[in-house]
Structure 1
């Protein structure tokens, strides 16, 4: 279903064809795979570690952690279970239509066995699915995209800190979303929905835990010495 929605939303063309028309290149593929399978994890879990441990992030810690957990629960589990769907990499194996994404998968297969190879990881997931087993990061459900959801969450919080950095972060969101399609992990609609749901989670959390809420230690300091606040301001 997602493949047909993608085709409809993108003027009768499967989005991966647009991406491969401008970026079907081995060097680009290697860069995209490295970002998607390595740098993404480093950036997102470094951000999580920083917010969870740094005194500088005390004012957003609770709200960020609530959002982070909500993204994993809602996007990564609830919606993934409700809309169980195979990504483009597994489309032919599930539907029998191997032609629709065949050219894309043939190109990606050129990197089979290389570090961060998307096809290698996809083959691993399919073998677990066929055997009815679970393993590290197992599952072939594509909808929605946790990759897109988490970078969207970080971009929203980074925008609170600095609009310019936030703008760069949203460009990275677009890059990750495009990468998920380029590598046949996701349909474009998976990323669109993931970003939208994450925005909703962020807005709700911001209503419940205001962004300017200060840490208890800071409140004690400013209550004990209000003139310091006046001097700083």
Structure 2
């Protein structure tokens, strides 16, 4: 069998294809790294916005209704950023280290927000309501809280949380108060588990109001 010499043209084409293939692979890696960094940067930008919003609550002079509105907005913003962070982590679009670091910061911001609310609304009874959609006991408790909110007029500050969301406060509160089911309420620093009738909840709120004013 006779070995035919390989033409220079074929060698050139082979080398050219190799260079093109390498360029495509490198470009793919570069693009992947860029989008990964872009998503992390997006989270960091959102984190800075949430942080500014939380600290602004301490320094900006607002009337009570404006302050309540901004508190609700801050809680919702933390939930939104944490949901997006978990989505990126689940899709392997951010590193585990980045996820853990940002989640810890969100927990810290949530804690600071709780402290701010406790300070700014010291004259009110704070009620944090944790529930799940399509949970009948949660629905009943919502009606009870609505009734008591009207009864106590401006003496209550009620914040509700969706137990199916990824808000850092939900896990934190469930661990702190050793709760494993919904609904539950945290009234000032007192946990109330399960559905509670209006008369019983009114007694608890009155006790907390008396204790706070003592």
Q: Who wins on radius of gyration, i.e. which is larger? A: 2
Higher strand share: 2
Q: Same fold (TM over 0.5)?
A: no
| Bigger relative CO (Cα 8 Å, ≥ 6 apart) | 1
Shorter-chain TM-score: what band? Answer: under 0.3
TM-score by length of 2: 0.26
